[in-house]
Amino acid sequence: MNATTEAGPAALTGTARAFHHNRGLVLDEIGSVLQQVDPLEVAALVTELRLADRIFVAGAGRSGLVLKMAAMRLMHLGLTVHVVGETTAPAIRAGDLLLAASGSGTTAGVVKAAETAAAHGARVAAYTTAPGSPLAAAAAAVVIIPAARKTDHGSSLTRQYSGSLFEQVLFAATEAVFQSLWDEDAAAPEDLWLRHANLE
């Protein structure tokens, strides 16, 4: 039994107390915003994933890192997935899907990728906080994550810094999408494991 269990949170001091408090803060904020994500919007995005010949993911910064994680999970399900900007990513074409994420919906590179994808006949699906944004306008399926944008300093929506809540909920949402697709696929974990990287 550790000291926290024996003495309880009231006995914590300094960094330990701050961590205990902020762990709860982060979990509470994620849970609150994730509950507000519309399952019907997610269902429309999942339909786009199912229908796509190939899936390309595009995001900048931490949002881009989250989509790279999502791309890996979709690959584990047997889908063909590419990360925009990687040297091995091929040209996008009709029948493909660009899955994009931008909290503001105005990130220049992500919006340009969405416009280019649409111009080549591909579909676009997006995660954003901003339904009226250029990214949302380019997308056939949009999932709104009602978190603060990274420039909303002092937002009443979050006490966390610069877009953290959007990125955290984005990760949780993409994991729930993967889990839902896996439930339908009904493949054994061992089958997915055969696609796991073995050159690490």
Positions marked catalytic: 167
User: Which amino acid is residue 137, in one-letter code?
Assistant: A
Return left, alpha or beta for 61; rule: phi > 0 is left, psi -120 to 50 is alpha, else beta.
left
Q: Are 59 and 101 in contact (CB under 8 A)?
A: yes
Instruction: Give the CA distances from residue 78 to residues 88, 92, 107, 113, 181, in Å, rounded to whole numbers and listed in that order.
Output: 18, 19, 30, 24, 11
Q: Residue 105: enclosing H or E segment and its boundaries?
A: none
Locate all alpha helices (DSSP H) within the chain, ordered by sequence. Answer: 3-7, 14-36, 39-51, 61-76, 108-119, 134-138, 164-185, 189-193
Radius of gyration of the chain (CA): 19
